[in-house]
A and B are shown apart, each in its own frame.
Chain A
Amino acid sequence: MTGADVRPGGRLLRGAHRTLSGLHPALESVLAAVLGLLVGAVLMYIWGYEPWHAYWALLKGAFGGSYEIASSIARGVPLILTALTFSICVRAGMFNIGAEGQMYVGAAAAVTVAYFKLPAGLHLLVGIALAGIAGALWSLGPALLKLTRGVSEVISTIMFNWMSRFLVFYLVAQVLVDPRRAEKTVSVPRTARFPILVAGTDLSYSVFLAVAFALLVYFLLWHTATGYEMRAAGLNPTAARYGGISIKRTILLSFVLGGIGAGLAGAATTMGLPPTYAIISGLPELMNLGFDGMAVAMVGRNHPIGILVAALFFGGLNAGGRVMQFYGANPVPLEMIRVVMGAIVLAMAIPELIRIFPALAAAGRGLVGSFTRAKKETA
């Protein structure tokens, strides 16, 4: 884009240009989100709803006040963790779509803390550890199948999701069941719960767990040799192998690390989500959080910091959607949100999304160009 810049002040302008170019991916995420919402609006209109009323209710329900914002963050917490599961593996060149199942077993493991007594704090830590370990162990299956037999992780992780679903159904119904209330498991005792952060909302200290894990992943992937190897393996496995990087090791690491993230998402939804602090039969509180995390990961550009922002957006969609489904004479069902998510992901699949809209692309180039006075590309 820019040639050799020898004008005075060139460095400053180059810096500005770099910043603006760096915004480009973020702009595409925003554009994808807008497109997704538009598709949702069109569908609502076809089904006989009033899209603008619905979106207004959604916006107010998501960010209309401190209570709403706290709820949006609370809904975003498990999404941060499942999004990281997906992203860590994408960075290492894998498509791990098994966060869903890894999260279920994590949640089931977290519930087992109800069966022993420990001092507060330590009890919580033990629960977190159990959930993380369970998620990691469940992710080992697809990882080992990939390493030993070359089975595509796309197929194996989905099979493991279904197996996990039935396993946890069994555990909820037969093993961890609450003797007084058969429709749920035993509840996590007070000593092992994440304390509530904002009184009267669902937001608990689990948000710090999610943010800490995101920062940990960021540090690991971008500031350690191991992380460099993982990313190298993802960018070009052949070159990485040539450079002496063990692809087997990076595959195993990314799956295990991802599994820990998904397991923690299970812990956050059982130990950090009022009022039941248990798994309810049929897994309503857990269902689809693993899949929604993939949408968060893509909009967050598979970067931990981007994921934090994207999770707030999707958490807001979720929390606002809950308000939207009771709003007005003809309320829009909550499921609309997932339609929007799917449309957003479809838009995110397109590289250089902006280029499909020549006018936008031109405006973007003009903006960058006006700062740098670089020679305009003739696209």
Chain B
Amino acid sequence: MNWASILDLLRISLHAMVPITLTAVGEIIGETAGLFNIGLEGILLTSAFVGVLGAKAGGAIVGLLAGVAVGLALGLVFSVICTYWKGTQMIAGIGINLFALGFVAFGLIKLGAPGFHAVPPEAQLLKLRTPMGALSPLIFVALVVPFLAHLFLNRTRAGLILKAAGENPEAADVAGINVNLIRLLATTVGGALAGLAGAYMSVAWFGSVTKELSAGRGFIALATVVFSGLNPLLGLVGGFIFGFFQSLATWIKTLPTKTIPWQFVDMLPYIVTLLVVSGVVGRVRFPKALGVPYKRE
């Protein structure tokens, strides 16, 4: 139990915070406008995979952008189905998750590496040298994005319109706001952020992609959204908490003293998620029209 090891834990936690925070903030934006996307897990996985393809073709930045593009596209598919076509949001989300499972498994086989595909070191995003050790630059992005989202939602006219679309779409419609378009844009932005999170995982953090890369993070992000009560700053806090416990599990497994079987250590993040969510539910308030497609009477 030395300082170096504790610092190590903190460093992994900061890295683990990024995908959960980015995904959660994106979903906060989407849910504020009234769409509940459980397809985040699938977006994370697909963009992680496509990010690898992009990185191999044109370097790390291209990889990240490819991930963003995929997230944006899947967010668009989800939101067109759930706004203009009045689709059931839960089912559309499940569809995206199933699609991603197949698409990524299929793609991995196509690349000739069943279940695992590494990103060559030169195509990975460079880490910054700091006194703490190597840190991914995206950690700073993940620290800034929640503040920007907070300002956007609470200090701009557009943010207010977004809230109106989620809270009272009828009134927003009467006020001349195009509810479906607003919701579509919000969810697409949310998808793009999840896409960035997915590509970060493969291109800038693990340096590889597997079928289990997302490991429930999409749903942990949903739990973070519940924890945050749609406040992006609390989304950052939640992202760090969940990131910390994920890292703690990894960290415990590297300790020289063997305590409990690794399978039980791996359960830790999921148990913590349940505990946190069951602790905060009841005091958070969600938009009135969340999950309900808007139909003009």
Binding site for B on A (CB under 8 A): 43, 47, 95, 97, 145, 148-152, 154-156, 158-163, 166-167, 169-170, 173-174, 288, 291-292, 294-295, 298, 333, 335-352, 356
A-contacting 9-mer, from B55-63, B177-185, B258-266: B258-266
Give bound CA distance, A294 to B97, whole Å.
11
Task: Assess whether A155 is in contact with B96, with CB atoms less than 8 Å apart.
Answer: no
CA gap between A182 and B226 in the complex, in Å: 42
A350 to B101, CA, bound (A): 21
Q: How far is the CB of A296 from chain B (nearest CB, A)?
A: 11
Q: How far is the CB of B13 from chain A (nearest CB, A)?
A: 19
Neighbouring B residues of A173 by C-beta, 8 Å? 263
Instruction: Name B99's closest neighbour in chain A (CB-CB).
Output: A342
Q: How far, in angstroms, from A161 to B274 measured CA to CA in the complex?
A: 12
Question: Is B3 positioned at the interface, with any CB of A under 8 Å from its CB?
Answer: no
Q: Which of B92, B95, B226, B261 has the most CB of A within 10 A?
A: B95
The reply to whether the CB of B81 lies closer than 8 angstroms to some CB of chain A is yes
- Does B77 touch A at the CB level, under 8 Å? yes
**Do A170 and B99 have beta carbons less than 8 Å apart?**
no
Asked if B139 is at the interface of the complex by the 8 Å CB criterion, the answer is no
Q: Please list 30 pairs of residues, one from A and one from B, whose beta carbons are closer than 8 Å in the complex, sorted by A's number.
A: A43-B103, A47-B110, A145-B278, A150-B282, A154-B222, A155-B219, A155-B274, A158-B219, A160-B270, A163-B267, A163-B271, A173-B263, A174-B261, A291-B97, A294-B94, A294-B98, A333-B110, A337-B102, A338-B99, A338-B102, A338-B105, A341-B102, A342-B98, A342-B102, A344-B95, A345-B95, A346-B95, A346-B99, A349-B82, A350-B86
Complex Cα gap A378–B275 (Å): 54
**Of A159, A288, A339, A348, which contacts B270 at CB under 8 A?**
A159
Q: Would you give the shortest CB distance from A273 to chain B, in whole angstroms? A: 21
Question: Which has the most chain B C-beta neighbours within 10 Å: A145, A339, A347?
Answer: A339
Interchain CB contact under 8 A, B267 and A167: yes
Which residues on the B side are within 8 Å of A291 (C-beta)? 97-98, 101
Chain B 251-297 interface residues, beta-carbon cutoff 8 Å to A = 261, 263-264, 266-267, 270-271, 273-274, 277-279, 281-282
Q: Are A346 and B81 in contact (CB under 8 A)?
A: yes
With A158-B219, A167-B263 known as contacts, the answer to whether A151 contacts B274 (CB < 8 A) is yes
**Which B residues are in CB contact (< 8 Å) with A145?**
274, 278
- What separation, in Å, do the CA atoms of A160 and B271 have in the docked complex? 8
Dominant secondary structure of chain B at its interface with chain A: helix
In the complex, what residues of B have CB within 8 A of residue A295's CB? 98
Is the CB–CB distance between B274 and A156 below 8 Å? yes
Q: Which residues of B contact A (CB under 8 A)?
A: 38, 41-42, 77, 81-82, 85-92, 94-103, 105-106, 109-110, 215-216, 219, 222-223, 226, 261, 263-264, 266-267, 270-271, 273-274, 277-279, 281-282
Residues of A within 8 A of B264 (CB): 166, 170
Are A349 and B92 in contact, with the CB atoms below 8 A? yes
Instruction: Give the 10 A-B residue pairs with the shortest CB-CB distance, closest first.
Output: A342-B99, A338-B102, A345-B95, A346-B95, A342-B98, A339-B102, A170-B263, A335-B105, A335-B106, A349-B92
A292 to B94, CA, bound (A): 10
Residues of chain B contacted by A158 (CB below 8 angstroms): 41, 216, 219
A335-B106, A342-B99 provided; 11 other pairs, C-beta below 8 A?
Answer: A152-B277, A155-B219, A155-B222, A155-B226, A156-B277, A166-B266, A292-B98, A298-B91, A341-B99, A345-B95, A352-B86
A346:B77 contact, CB within 8 angstroms: yes
Q: Which A residue sits closest to B269, measured CB to CB?
A: A162
CB distance from B227 to the nearest CB of A (A): 10
**B109 engages A349 (CB within 8 Å):** no
Secondary structure at the A interface, as helix, strand, loop or mixed, is helix
Contact A351 B109 (CB under 8 A): no
Q: List, in ascending order, chain A residues with CB within 8 A of B99's CB.
A: 338-339, 341-343, 345-346
Which of B100, B215, B273 sits near A342, CB closer than 8 Å?
Answer: B100
Report if A349-B88 is in contact (Cβ < 8 Å); known contacts: A97-B94, A342-B98: yes
Let me know if A340 and B102 touch, CB within 8 A. yes
A159 touches B263 (CB 8 A): no
Per the bound structure, the CA–CA distance linking A68 and B124 in Å amounts to 46
Q: Name which residue of chain B comes closest to A144, CB basis.
A: B278
A288 touching B77, Cβ below 8 Å: no
A159 and B219 contact, CB distance less than 8 A: yes
Q: What are the residues of chain B within 8 A of A174 when measuring CB–CB?
A: 261
Whether A345 pairs with B281 at a CB distance below 8 angstroms is no
Q: Which residues of B contact A47 (CB under 8 A)?
A: 106, 110
Q: How far is the CB of B244 from chain A (nearest CB, A)?
A: 17
> Known: A162-B267, A351-B88. Is A335-B277 also a contact (CB below 8 A)?
no
CB-CB nearest in chain B for A149: B278
B91 touches A349 (CB 8 A): yes
- Are the CB atoms of B216 and A162 closer together than 8 Å? yes
Chain A residues in 8 Å Cβ range of B89: 349
* Docked pose: A173 CA to B90 CA in angstroms: 35
- Inter-chain CA distance A350–B82, complex, in Å, is 8
Q: Which B residue's beta carbon lies closest to that of A95? A: B90
Pick from B38, B92, B102: contact of A346, CB below 8 A: B92
Q: Are B278 and A350 in contact (CB under 8 A)?
A: no
Given contacts A336-B106, A338-B98, A342-B102, contact A151 B263 (CB under 8 A): no
Bound Cα distance A312, B130 (Å): 58
Closest to A352 in B: B86
A154, A288, A343, A351: the one within 8 Å of B101 (CB) = A288
A344 to B215, CA, bound (A): 24
User: What residues of chain B lie closer than 8 Å to A150, measured between beta carbons?
Assistant: 281-282
Considering the chains assembled together, what is the distance between the CA atoms of A166 and B266 in angstroms? 7
Q: Are A346 and B96 neighbours in the complex by a CB distance under 8 Å?
A: yes
Among the interface residues B85, B91, B278, which one has the most CB atoms of the partner chain A within 10 A?
B91
Residue of B nearest to A337 (CB): B102
